[in-house]
Chains A and B, each alone.
Chain A
Amino acid sequence: MRTNVIEFLEATARRLPGKAAVIDARGSVTFSELLDRANGIAAAIHSRTPARNQPIAVYLPRSKECLAAFAGVLLSGNAYAPLDTKSPAARLRVLLGKLEPALIITDPGHLAELSEAGVSDDCILLDAGSTAPAKLPGRRTVDTDPAYIIHTSGSTGVPKGVVVSHRGVADYIDWARQCYGVTESDTIGSQAPFHFDNSTLDIFLCFAAGATLVLIPEEHFLFPLRLVEYLAAHSVRFIFWVPSVLASVARLDILSQTELPPLAKILFAGEVMPARCLNYWRAKYPHALFSNLYGPTEITVDCTYYIVDREFRDDEPLPIGFARPNMEVLMLDDDGRPAAEGERGEILVRGSALALGYWNDAERTAAAFVQNPLNPHFPDPVYRTGDIGYRNQRGEIMFVGRRDQQIKHLGYRIELGEIEAAAMALPEIRNACVVYDPEESRIAMFYESVRPVGAGELRKQLLAKLPKYMVPALMTALPELPQNANGKVDRVKLAAAVRERLYG
């Protein structure tokens, strides 16, 4: 049994010391160099704090240095918390207030942003790029200790820090490595930002299997042609991406216009994959493995998987498949009883990969991680996903949608309520309602204002409070928001207005 997921990297550094572990825009690092750098960081952490099992935030751009910092935090016996370096200072301040990290690892280029967010100097650890020989006097962990904390959107405006254990990650990676046959001959083309939990698979498959991890420079996601050319240039075989990136390639039919990269395994998760997009990719890669995965951050990246084994019409929904080993998916109807085949129910998940809870937030932890309603006899926590699904005739789980106002946009989980809260905190806004149009992947906001204010001005103000991907693409002022029979804002009507393009 692994008690710390750093053991993956230690074993690979012994087995394949000179092999390239990570490639970024500025060069590459071998497995043994990566481990030496991680040891240097762990030594620096130890010299600064006695912390153990505490969050250590990493505020670095997506790079091999950032990965060395994660590994160093794990070696020090703490949990890494990746922060988005593009987050507005106001949101960073709120997040750090809740996280209370023992230290924040950053580089000189990012000090000003952190001090703008109210971070004091004695909390900063500058990554000096120093190395130390392997095997420091380690402060080791047990498998139920936290490995990382990743933040997700919260409806009240305060992001939730999901605490994931070493056991959760180790279990997930052991399964994925075997299920998808990942070895050191696979090169992984990494898309997920590190503050998004899809990155867990990329990072730890690299550490565990010895696969080289290629951090695709962010600017390539602006230009799908460049992205595909980059995959070909690096002979990428394995990708785990959000469907919207795969769709950007499909929409422009890029795969017909340039050399095909040697992709063999194409995995996706984070939002609904349209069958039309899958069919486009499958036509170009008839021999590749395609897999649709599903899972909220609270259950260590993914708890179900489906390996595409048949044809789908363009308008047919794809299954999210079956629970992976050591996990169980329950589907309960409104009365809390198991839903029959074909009947809809809320998706609840139990098993080894359940997160430990939300950091510093007993209340929201207790609301989401509950006792298994089917088992009153012994402690048996399940996570209520808030997602609705059903089982089809083949026994596969199908995803239907959400119970509440949460959406998946560009792979990010977003509470529409968080956007509304940010908008209503602006002095000009009296009332706001945010809806999502999944067809066009756009967030739309309707608002009542106290004085006339343009969409451009509002957008500017919201960009200072919310990450870019949460700022509505469409903003429409209304003299009064429509109400439904209960006197609540009529979301259904507004969502229909967006779909039917009455606005924008």
Chain B
Amino acid sequence: MDELIGILQEIRPEFEFRESQDFLADGMLDSLDIVTLVAALDKRYRISIRGVEIVPENFRNLETLAALLRKYGVSA
């Protein structure tokens, strides 16, 4: 989980991702960030996240992101 937080903080250093249950509602990630995040996760874990998985439900918070990565066999 620390690694995931590290990746998020590379993108938006000004936010404390551990404290939010909803990154989107809290305005912590915008469209550029999502693209950057998907690219960073793909690269870091050598996966290719599918378009249908790039939906708000998977990007709400650390738990939903970790669950998404688990689908690709990654335990973050």
1/0 contact trace for B10-50 toward A, CB 8 Å? 10011000000000100001111011100000000000001
Q: Contact check: which of A218, A221, A252, A460 meets B51 at CB < 8 Å?
A: A252
CB pair A223–B30 under 8 Å, yes or no, is: no
CB pair B10–A456 under 8 Å, yes or no, is: yes
Residues of A within 8 A of B55 (CB): 223, 225-226
CB pair A222–B36 under 8 Å, yes or no, is: no
Instruction: Give the total number of A-B pairs whose CB atoms are below 8 A apart.
Output: 50
CB pair B14–A460 under 8 Å, yes or no, is: yes
Within 8 A of B (CB), among A436-489: 455-457, 459-460, 463, 468-469, 473
CB pair A257–B51 under 8 Å, yes or no, is: yes
* B29 to chain A: closest residue by CB: A222
Residues of B within 8 A of A254 (CB): 51-52
Closest CB-CB distance, B73 to chain A, in whole Å?
20
For chain B, the count of residues having a C-beta within 8 Å of the partner chain is 19
Check: B75 CB closer than 8 A to any chain A CB. Answer: no
Known contacts A219-B24, A222-B29, A222-B30: does B52 contact A460 (CB below 8 Å)?
no
Q: Contact check: which of B13, B50, B54 meets A460 at CB < 8 Å?
A: B13
Is chain A's interface secondary structure helix, strand, loop, or mixed overall?
helix
* A252 to chain B: closest residue by CB: B51
* A248 to chain B: closest residue by CB: B35
* B35 to chain A: closest residue by CB: A248
Q: How far is the CA of A410 from the CA of B9 in the complex (A)?
A: 23
Q: How far is the CA of A469 from the CA of B36 in the complex (A)?
A: 12
Check: A253 CB closer than 8 A to any chain B CB. Answer: yes
Known contacts A248-B35, A253-B51, A468-B32: does B9 contact A223 (CB below 8 Å)?
no
Q: Contact check: which of B30, B36, B54 meets A252 at CB < 8 Å?
A: B54
Closest CB-CB distance, A456 to chain B, in whole Å?
4
Check: A224 CB closer than 8 A to any chain B CB. Answer: yes
Q: How far is the CA of A253 from the CA of B55 in the complex (A)?
A: 14
Closest CB-CB distance, A62 to chain B, in whole Å?
14
Question: Can you spell out 14 A-B residue pairs with CB atoms less than 8 angstroms apart?
Answer: A222-B56, A223-B34, A223-B59, A224-B51, A224-B54, A225-B52, A226-B55, A248-B35, A252-B50, A252-B51, A253-B51, A455-B10, A468-B30, A469-B32
Q: Which residues of A contact B (CB under 8 A)?
A: 218-219, 221-226, 248, 251-254, 257-258, 410, 455-457, 459-460, 463, 468-469, 473
Other contacts beyond A218-B30, A222-B56, A463-B14: 8, CB < 8 A:
A222-B29, A224-B51, A225-B54, A225-B55, A226-B55, A257-B51, A460-B14, A469-B32
